[in-house]
Amino acid sequence: MAHHKSALKRIRQTAIRTERNRAGRSRVKHSVRKFREAAADNAEGLSTCLNETIAMLSKAASKGIIPAKRASRKIGRLTRLFNATQA
């Protein structure tokens, strides 16, 4: 266990950031899963769901919760899935 004040503060900060990042990643995963399920069911409002998912992925990438290239890759794949269901 750390004894210095600064080390104790770093531990507290790391715990807060870890929890925030975990919640953000979970939100992104649920959004992607929701979109994929909606695409499989050919549900209404699929374009709205896609836009929400893309916004969530972009925001997570900008905040550093997920890597930018991973967000870009997921956005491309989800868009391709959307276009395939529309055709």
Tell me: the pLDDT tens digits for 15-61?
Answer: 999 999 999 999 999 999 999 999 999 888 899 999 999 999 999 99
5-40 helix and 46-62 helix, angle to the nearest 10 degrees = 160
* DSSP code for 66: S
Domain boundaries, the chain: 5-86
Report the 10 Å Cβ neighbour count for 61. Answer: 19
- Verdict on whether the full-model pTM lies above 0.75: yes
Is the CATH number 3.30.830.10 carried by domain 5-86?
no
